[in-house]
Amino acid sequence: MQAMPDNVMVVDHPLVAHKLTLLRAAATPTGDFRRLVREISLLMGYEVLRDLPTEPVHIETPLEPMTARQVSGKKLCFISILRAGNGILDGMVDLVPSARIGHVGLYRDPLSHEPIEYYFKVPDDMDQRLTVVVDPMLATGHSAAAAVTRLKRAGAGAIKFVCLIAAPEGIAALHAAHPDVPVYTAAIDRQLDEHAYIRPGLGDAGDRLFGTK
């Protein structure tokens, strides 16, 4: 496998690896697939958000006053690349219920594999928020790069990208377009096939999440 950029992080916790193995299995039914994506996303969220800034606050416990830490600054923003990104979004929102949420609608042209935008809705003040972009698969990297480009035009500065499985080709393409954006993934697979599917992968994440095939 080719060398990865320094800002690519594989979340290799044993529970993430275990749940990802169950997720990959063709025999895993839709309901279990959806639940596993949510669970993996929540586990990954701890690593993705490890460097959130905090500030001291004064509180009263049942026994005495104290100074404790809480997350500071504007509420972070999760951006789902539709439609499959919504599967990861659920787990992330479980972890940070107060986060703002945006959506980028992109579909892949079946011939060119290039992304075409059909929907874009994000919160205000994107320049003041940490933006976490979620999509289960980083395959060609074209959709991820297009989504990040669009978010930067909307003012987003600090951006992270989170996926379940990445292909080396997708990592390279996203890094070439946006070298400042770190990638968090549960696994880096071998390669893309002639149809731009990740091998060994897990199939079409959207179809498996929503039971549409």
Annotate 118-149 with b (16+ C-beta within 10 A) or e (fewer).
Answer: eebebbeebeebbbbbbbbbbbbbbbbbbbbe
Residue 178 among known ligand-binding residues: no
Residue 142 among known ligand-binding residues: yes
154 touches 101 (CB < 8 A): no
Q: How far is 46 from 33, CA to CA, in rounded Å? A: 21
Residue 56 among known ligand-binding residues: no
Residue 92 among known ligand-binding residues: no
Residue 139 among known ligand-binding residues: yes
Residue 138 among known ligand-binding residues: yes
Residue 176 among known ligand-binding residues: no
Strands 131-134 and 77-82: parallel
Residue 136 among known ligand-binding residues: yes
Q: How far is 194 from 213, CA to CA, in rounded Å? A: 20
Rounded alpha-carbon distances, angstroms, from residue 17 to 44, 91, 120, 165, 171: 11, 16, 33, 11, 20
Residue 203 among known ligand-binding residues: yes
Residue 144 among known ligand-binding residues: no
Residue 83 among known ligand-binding residues: yes
Residue 44 among known ligand-binding residues: no
Residue 143 among known ligand-binding residues: yes
- The annotation places the binding site for 5-phospho-alpha-D-ribose 1-diphosphate at 83, 108, 135-143, 204
- The annotation places the binding site at 83, 108, 135-143, 198, 203-205
- The annotation places the binding site for uracil at 198, 203-205
